[in-house]
Structure 1
Amino acid sequence: MTETESIAYDVVVLGAGPVGENVADRTRAAGLATAIVERELVGGECSYWACIPSKALLRPVIARADARRVPGVDGVAGPLDAPAVLAHRDHEVGNWHDDGQVAWLDGIGADLYRGHARLAGPRTVTVTGPDGEQHVLTARHAVAVCTGSGARLPDLPGLAEVKPWTSREATGAKSVPGRLIIVGGGVVASEMATAWHALGSEVTVLVRGKGLLPRMEPFAGELVAEALAEAGVDLRTGTSVESVRREGDTVVVVTDSGDRLEADEILFATGRVPHTDDIGLETVGLEPGSWLEVDDTLRVTDSDWLYALGDVNHRALLTHQGKYQARIAGAVIAARAAGVPLLETDPWGAHAATADHAAVPQVVFTDPEAAAVGLSLAEAEQAGRRVRAVDVDLTSVEGAILYADGYRGRARMVVDLDSETLLGVTFVGPGVGELIHSASVAVAGEVPIDRLWHAVPSFPTISEVWLRLLEAYRG
């Protein structure tokens, strides 16, 4: 085989993160010959620089916080052993080795190519390997772009010289910085403020907007901000960074109000950009660096062979939602390859990613946790739905009272008054992350309120909040 020999597959997948792995798994299960290309580690951002390491850092933080709220064990919950936490994080990410993930790909029969993949016209992908070797892969049925996203940095003079943290450095740091400035108010900013403050950093959070977690119900960000402030985090809203520079080992930040702040490290958690800038989009008439617009079968608009899954299509920048899209797209690609004349693309059909619009769940692993699925009240009203929001204080739930002394939390369900089904649910409080799947089932299943009344929550658990919500709705 020469370096430029063309190798034909049914499906070629760009990116071997969780999304790419799942679409490869589904197409291989359908008997389609599949190649997958990865330029970094098999397992992708989630496995090594996002979901897994961040939760490994946060789990000890939350466990200690829970223990401190329980009489009888509160006195033994002392300072965290930061080196032990970081070592456990390293273990959970396999010390940034991907042998296990590669073995899994081998097990499903997908061919792995290491290197940088670029489209080279319709159904054609060139791969430049780490030693400069070249491969040309062609796809009989589909090319799936699963290249994910990266951190977006602001256009500030001298920022490169500061060597700022992004989410990668924040989850992979080898030691605890004495002082850490975090710029941003979303999920990454909130979780990393929670983790690094508990591990010993003096943390300052600068939020340009009015508060934290702006895409959730307002009370979610309010309760998380209140807890961070009580813990000792310096949280400043309505604040922008005007300039940043490094003086020796010190990062110096000047805000729009003229305040001068100093830290050892600075983390910018200010959004994401798609990894589509150097994958050859221009060779198929698309704009390099753009988010890729897709239909509900995850196929790129005006294409009959190109699919975009996960972060790159900008529908829901969440690992679990990307994996869901991969399962849908895998079924779609297999059906089209088999010549199925009519796909099930009606809402909630086997070949439609309907949940992207109606039932996207998310958990923010702060203390307290924030979890939501579906539409917020504001989103539902903006969509023109006739709705009613029902709120419950979690201190009315015996399971929450038993879970922790001084438990604070809140729940909301947004009810469509025409169908009497749920459009969205939000929980905030310790331990509520495990409640969100029940809400996802209710929203995705469009379960009528009258039927939910017969789904009896166990006493005494926090899930009894469902009974309180339904009682409040019924009056």
Structure 2
Amino acid sequence: MTRTVENEHEHEYDVVVLGAGPVGENVVDRVRAAGLTAAIVEAELLGGECSYWACMPSKALLRPVLARSDARKVPGLRGAVHGPLDALDVFAHRDETVGHWKDDGQVDWLDSIGVRVYRGHGRLSGPRRVTVEGPEGDRHALTARHAVAVCTGSRAVLPPLPGLAGARPWTSREATSSDRVPGRLIVVGGGVVGVEMATAWHALGSHVTLLVRGDGLLPRMEPFVGERVAEALRARGADVLTGASVEAVVRDGGSGPVTVVLEGGDTVEGDEVLFATGRAPRTEDVGLETVGLEPGSWLDVDDSLRVTGSDWLYAVGDVNHRALLTHQGKYQARIAGAAIAARAAGDTLEDAAPWGSHAATADHAAVPQVVFCDPEAAAVGLSLAEAERAGHRVRAVDVEMSSVAGAGLYAHGYRGRARMVVDLEREVLLGATFVGPAVGELLHAATVAVTAEVPVSRLWHAVPSYPTLGEVWLRLLEAYRDGAGTV
């Protein structure tokens, strides 16, 4: 239903989605497949952060970095890989990957599945109501018969440091979209964004100084992962400083070199500084106050992604703070779409038990992640420390990847490490972690094992092909059988 009242256009749909990134797009895809009508609202590019400023451009920058690194370790090939990367060619590939920051393809796809797109800033204006302020001053009042889904994602957080606002710092957006290689790049933060961008820009020609406030890199993974990654960065000539707390940033006139002042008075000078120090939800101006919620807050949800205390509002993806990963947000979107459709049909959520089609259980037990640094890092499920904190009686079993024949064939001098965390009560995997070249391709097997709670005794019958990196599973099982590991 559509009508116009005093220059305001009113429209009604079954489902209205705020945010047209991968998460919002998956919600409307699922509800449309169930026969519901849907509208989606977006103030920037359809496709969202991941498509234009995060996952896709960062991996486009990193792919040649990792390919060159691998090639230099292959006998007969390493001598052919000379000189620096062609930064302009890398940037051109990145620009092509993100569609030159145009979203025509996304528009066509949404149109093809019958989703109405509203360009502009969307805000809740009461229960089941969304108001959109368009770029040309047009105004639309949308009513959702069944559900509104907030899928507005997250944004980079800049700490309240003296001088930072005038120093024109990079966030993840500038780091993935710059078409210029700074001579010296200071990276503040040792998490995924900091490590990946330090890897990419060092390989593209910047001298990188990575400042980490804590004791090591990638603190949410097993400690040995951050140790291996830091060692590799230093070996290639990057400076990695741990225990480095930033107190101020100085950039005279907003141009010229930037100076980072550390606790204790030491300074680091660079041409650009990237702050990769966390994310905040994009909920500060989406009208949460009109439905009794706190603006700018993370939104608490149940496993069907419905906001606590509501029977119509859903929060999917980064905004619920369960797992700030694109693939996990898309998983949540599939769950939410199925739940919205079932409730719209008047059905009870009979499949809402853990691992059912209406429950985002993997958010708790089996979140996979690959960090595309050099060496790669990959993990799923619980680390040893997380499993112990959760009260499980566990054993962690480690093996060096060099014990696998496929590792030596993949690269001369291959170095890597693998760990599986086993629940000793049930003898199933709670988690697995890998660090080494190309280990991201090992992760889905681990994700299946953790998600399906495959008994260790059955894993012996999952025979890895010879000679592949996947044989590390056999080495892990042998070590577990022989009693190795930490209990």
Confirm or deny a common fold (TM above 0.5): yes
Match of 2:282 in 1: 275
Q: What letter is aligned with 2:414?
A: Y
Alignment correspondent of 2:80: 76
> 1:145 maps to what in 2?
150
Alpha carbons 1:332, 1:343 under 8 Å: kept: no
In the alignment, which of 265, 282, 296 is matched to residue 289 of structure 1? 296
Q: How does 1:248-259 map to 2 (within 5 A)?
A: 248-259=255-266
Residue 253 of structure 1, CA deviation: 1.2
TM-superposed CA distance for 1:266, in Å, is 0.3
Distance 1:411 1:261 in 2: 35
Show the counterpart of 1:341.
348
Structure 1 unaligned runs (5+)?
none
The equivalent of 2:212 in structure 1 is 207
CA deviation after TM superposition for structure 1 residue 254, in Å: 1.1
Once the two structures are superposed, the pairs formed by residues 164-203 of structure 1 within 5 Å of their partners are 164-203=169-208
Aligned to 1:63: 67
Partners of 2:110 and 2:409 in 1: CA distance: 45
Instruction: Letter of the 1:294 partner, please give it.
Output: V
Give the secondary-structure state (helix, strand or coil) at the position aligned to 2:446: helix
Distance 1:263 1:390 in 2: 42
Whether the aligned pair in 1 keeps the contact of 2:343 and 2:349 (CA below 8 Å) is no
Q: For 1:64-463, what aligned pairs fall within 5 Å after superposition?
A: 64-78=68-82, 79-247=84-252, 248-463=255-470
Partners of 1:110 and 1:420 in 2: CA distance = 47
User: SS of the counterpart of 2:333?
Assistant: helix
- Whether the aligned pair in 1 keeps the contact of 2:162 and 2:247 (CA below 8 Å) is no
Is the contact between residue 335 and residue 343 of structure 1 (CA under 8 Å) also seen in structure 2? no
Structure 2 equivalent of residue 11 of structure 1: 15
Distance in 1 (alpha carbons) for counterparts of 2:162 and 2:420: 45
Gaps of 5+ in 2: 483-487
Letter of the structure 2 residue corresponding to residue 371 of structure 1: A
Superposition deviation, residue 158 in structure 1: 2.1
Whether the 8 Å contact between 2:349 and 2:358 is mirrored in structure 1 is: no
Amino acid at match of 1:307: Y
Inter-partner Cα distance in structure 2 for 1:22 and 1:349: 18
**Paired residue type of 1:4:** E
Query: Deviations for 1:83-141, whole angstroms, at most 9, x for unmatched residues?
Result: 10011100100000000011111111110000000000100000000111100000010
Residue-by-residue CA offset, 1:131-185 (whole Å, 9 max, x unaligned):
1110000001000000000001000122111010000000000110111000001
Structure 2 distance, partners of 1:237, 1:257, is: 14
Q: CA RMSD in A?
A: 0.7
Query: Which runs of 4 or more aligned residues in structure 1 lie more than 3 Å from their structure 2 counterparts after TM superposition?
Result: none
Q: Partners of 1:325 and 1:309 in 2: how far apart? A: 6
Give distance in 2, aligned partners of 1:171 and 1:257: 32
Q: Distance in 1 between matches of 2:313 and 2:358?
A: 16
**Cα shift readout 1:311-369 (whole Å, capped 9, x = no counterpart):** 00000000000000000000000000011134311110110000000000000000100
Q: Which amino acid aligns with 1:8?
A: E
User: SS state of the match for residue 251, structure 2?
Assistant: strand
2:392 match: secondary structure: coil
Letter in 1 for 2:362: A
Q: What is the alpha-carbon distance in structure 1 between the residues aligned to residue 305 and residue 124 of structure 2?
A: 18
SS at match of 1:327: helix
Offset, 1:34:
0.2
2: CA distance between counterparts of 1:104 and 1:146? Answer: 18
Write the distance in 1 (CA, Å) between the matches of 2:172 and 2:264.
Answer: 26
> How far apart, in 1, do the equivalents of 2:162 and 2:179 lie?
27
Deviates further, 46-55 or 72-81: 72-81
Helix, strand or coil for the counterpart of 1:63? helix
Name the SS of the counterpart of 1:126 in structure 2.
strand
Counterparts of 1:417 and 1:240, CA distance in 2: 40
Residue 96 of structure 2 aligns to a residue whose secondary structure is helix
Aligned to 2:34: 30
Amino acid at match of 2:20: A
Q: Which amino acid aligns with 2:345?
A: A
Distance 2:122 2:349 in 1: 32
User: How far apart, CA to CA, are the structure 1 residues paired with 2:239 and 2:205?
Assistant: 14
Q: Does 1:46 align with 2:50?
A: yes
Determine the C-alpha separation between the residues in 2 that align with 1:341 and 1:317: 29
For residue 366 of structure 2, what is the amino acid of its counterpart? A
Distance in 1 (alpha carbons) for counterparts of 2:81 and 2:292: 58
Identity value in percent: 74
- What is the number of residues matched between the two proteins? 475
Equivalent position amino acid for 1:266 in 2: V
SS of 1:363's equivalent in the other structure is: strand
Corresponding letter in the other structure for 2:478: E
Offset at residue 296 of structure 1 (A): 0.3
Distance, in Å, in 2 between the alignment partners of 1:197 and 1:350 is: 43
- The separation in 2 between residues aligned to 1:10 and 1:49, in whole angstroms, is 31
SS in structure 2 opposite 1:5? strand
Q: 2: distance between equivalents of 1:16 and 1:423?
A: 34
The equivalent of 2:485 in structure 1 is none
Counterpart Cα distance in 2 of 1:420 and 1:370 = 25
Taking structure 1 as the reference length, the TM-score comes to 0.99
Return the alpha-carbon distance in structure 1 between the equivalents of residues 46 and 348 of structure 2: 35
* One-letter amino acid of the structure 2 residue matched with residue 311 of structure 1: D
User: Equivalents in 2 of 1:132, 1:163: separation in Å?
Assistant: 31
